[in-house]
Amino acid sequence: MSDFVVVPRSTMRLSLPHRVQALLAVAYARCLARRDPQWLERRLRRISRNARPATASETLTAYQQVISVSTRCSGRWCLDRSIAVALLLRMRGVWPEWHTGVCLNPFRAHAWVAVDGKPIGEPDGLEENFQTLILVAANEANEEHGASQED
């Protein structure tokens, strides 16, 4: 999606269960990333329901685990990487803020995860350069879910 971020591959050593979880998240993320943006947003909102918001340390750990098992996710494939991190966190009962956005000068698209509005694993200046177009957060998903139950 963007050449804004190319992440150095993590040398983190994972236990077998954590490695399997990360690989499953990466595989499913790759499938989801090929769908159209509206479908993807709906699916991620559904997946994020009833999750508590992730902490910065949980998100950073998941980020490092994803890039340690996938060369693709540690490269230019920010959409795959951000979805995989969110999915890995969801397997653990939490959800980060998942963002996609654009920078207009020059035009670039990017996807990332954040906690309390602060991007995780991204270079400084991301918030100033990119305008979020889609945001899927745990609280939003739970509020929408709760609102539909009351109706």
pTM summary value: 0.86
Shortest CA distance to 66 belongs to which of 91, 42, 49, 46? 91
**What does the pLDDT average to over 103-128?**
92
Predicted local distance difference test score (pLDDT) of residue 124 = 85
**pLDDT tens digits for range 39-57:** 999 999 999 999 999 999 9
Distance CA 16, CA 10 (A): 16
Provide the token pair at 45. Answer: 């909102």
**pLDDT tens digits for range 61-78:** 999 999 999 988 988 899
Distance CA 108, CA 121 (A): 18
Distance CA 148, CA 151 (A): 5
Q: What is the DSSP pairing of strand 52-53 with strand 94-95?
A: parallel
